[in-house]
Amino acid sequence: MSLVVMKFGGTSVEDPAAIGRTAAIVAGRLALGKQPIVVVSAMAKVTDQLLRAAAAAAQGDRVGALAISSRLRSRHRDTAAELVKDSAEVASLIDLIDQKFDSLDEILRGLAAILELTPRISDLIVSYGERLSSRIVAAAFRERGIDAAHVDAREIVVTDSQFQKAVPLDAIIERRAQNRLLPLTSVGQVPVMGGFIASNEAGITTTLGRGGSDFTGALIGGALSAEAIEIWTDVDGIMTADPRICPDALRVKVVSFEEAAELAYFGAKVLHPATILPAVRKNIPVQVLNSRNAASEGTRITSLAPHCKSPFKSIAVKKKLSIIDMVASRMLMTHGYMKEIFTVFDQHRCAVDMVSTSEVSVSLTVDSNDNLPAIAADLGKLADVKYEGRKALICMVGEDIRGKNGMAAQVFAAIRHINVRMISQGASEINMSFMIEEDDADEAVRSLHAAFFKDPDPVIFDVEARKPLTASSC
């Protein structure tokens, strides 16, 4: 049985038309003799709105929170009513949607009384997005003749208790995925489950972090040793840059697991950074595809990618970063000093993206977060500390960058008009990264793209789709 995990993102289930397209794509895979397992995100923007409702309630704005919930209720009810025509099916689906919103409203009212939003309650509130979308999608599939069975992802994806960024417990997931999903697929049913949501071993709802539905898809694919993991989204695949920043971005036909992981980690939102790991462990190819343009071949992520004549495959940008500069009279090279610095970050559970040192100073970059003043206060015991937000990290990914002469000169010549705050090259053979002001980031990506994708290798890039260059584009 050729199992294929198909993950559909928020835009692929955003309204009745999108869910209809998704159903047609799944039916197409069935017609090819594949056995799909479907993982869906919440409908587009729903997670953000649930978080907004939670924040409003926690500030005592009960009316505002319930108004957001009421708009979401209407959107889900209307979508269900448009997709499912069978009167008994639609009645029970709408009843179920109402039950879920009734319990969500109860939580929001409670929150507005308690005025304290814990990560655990936040996860419970956002989980409604995927719990609702997966029910609607399963019913819409059945209406279109697909034998779909809804499965609550929280029964399968078991994690630790780090709410909002829970870590999956692979062995339990493998066992549960096999016990729960294989009996369905073995009789040709198509399981439909929400991504992103999970539960700890006590059955309390957790989530895998924003964008985590990709991760769910990969975890399920890994647990069942699927033949392929397909990530269906709203662009033609992994592109040479974010097409929202650079409209001339080209589809990358194939990248290695390693390259995709670097791109995802350094900000290419098209893929959640943790997606690659379960696929690598079992050597399962991942395909990124466009649900609005199913005919496009997408991007194939595999263990080995063919040699690329162009120096870079793609440019990623990660915004909302901060830089922390530390100057110490105590010498940096002193034994154990760096360890003390990193212990502070560890205690605050704060990941460091980039590090640069000199004799008496260290600079580090981290995600901007509310903990920065506390981190800086603790670091202040070791050195003079300054920190600044609104920074962006640009990451250029390509084959063997370290081994190519003059690469750095070409990169910095392309952005000679932009001030570079920090540089890192050498940690990885396939990435060159540097930090600039966030306001300069889009311009930097466009300049770099114009410089390095003038003559792209047709083996790797979809050059045929290239739009004619205009003066206003890059």
Q: Do 37 and 229 form a contact (C-beta atoms < 8 A)?
A: no
Residue in 168, 191, 211, 222 binding Mg ion, rule: CB under 5 A: 211
- Compute the distance between CA of residue 152 and CA of residue 142 in angstroms, rounded to an integer: 17
322 binds, among ligand ADP, Mg ion, ligand ASP, none (CB under 5 to 8 A by kind): none
Tokens of 361: 């100073």
| Binding span for ligand ASP by CB under 6 A among 113-121, 210-218, 438-446, 454-462 | 210-218
Q: Does the protein bind ligand ADP through residue 244 (CB under 6 A)?
A: yes
Q: How far is the CB of 110 from ligand ASP (least distance, A)?
A: 23
Residue in 93, 127, 129, 138 binding ligand ASP, rule: CB under 6 A: 129
The 3-state DSSP class for residue 63 equals: helix
Question: Among residues 215, 143, 210, 153, which one has the least CA distance to residue 180?
Answer: 153
How many residues line the site for ligand ADP (CB under 6 A)? Answer: 18
Q: Do 380 and 374 form a contact (C-beta atoms < 8 A)?
A: no
Residue ranges in 10-39 that form contacts with ligand ASP under rule CB under 6 A: 10
Question: Among residues 435, 441, 321, which one has the least CA distance to residue 389?
Answer: 321
Q: CA distances (Å), 147 to each of 6, 98, 142, 257, 294, in order?
A: 15, 24, 6, 33, 22
Between CA 76 and CA 21, with CA 138 as vertex, the angle to 5 degrees is: 80
Q: What are phi and psi of 396, to 5 degrees?
A: -100, 125
Q: CA distances (Å), 283 to each of 257, 286, 303, 389, 430, in order?
A: 9, 9, 7, 39, 20
Task: Compose the 84-123 pattern: x for residues touching ligand ASP by CB under 6 A, - for all others.
Answer: ----------------------------------------
Residue ranges in 158-217 that form contacts with ligand ADP under rule CB under 6 A: 211
State the greatest distance between any 2 C-alpha atoms of the chain, in Å, as a whole number: 76
Residue ranges in 8-37 that form contacts with Mg ion under rule CB under 5 A: 9
Q: Does the protein bind ligand ASP through residue 275 (CB under 6 A)?
A: no
Q: Do 366 and 392 form a contact (C-beta atoms < 8 A)?
A: no
Residue number with CB closer to ligand ASP (126 or 224): 126
| Binding span for ligand ADP by CB under 6 A among 25-33, 66-74, 230-238, 346-354 | 230-238
As a dihedral over the C-alpha atoms of residue 42, residue 263, residue 415, residue 391, rounded to 10 degrees, the angle is 60
Residue ranges in 355-384 that form contacts with ligand ASP under rule CB under 6 A: none
Task: Compose the 361-380 pattern: x for residues touching Mg ion by CB under 5 A, - for all others.
Answer: --------------------
Q: Does the protein bind ligand ASP through residue 195 (CB under 6 A)?
A: yes
User: In 284-367, where do the E strands start and end?
Assistant: 286-290, 299-302, 314-327, 352-357, 361-367
Residue in 11, 12, 47, 447 binding ligand ASP, rule: CB under 6 A: 47
Residue number with CB closer to Mg ion (211 or 298): 211
Q: Does the protein bind ligand ADP through residue 36 (CB under 6 A)?
A: no
Residue number with CB closer to ligand ADP (362 or 448): 448
Q: Does the protein bind ligand ADP through residue 47 (CB under 6 A)?
A: no
Residues in the site for ligand ASP, rule: CB under 6 A? 9-10, 41-42, 47, 129, 195-196, 210-213
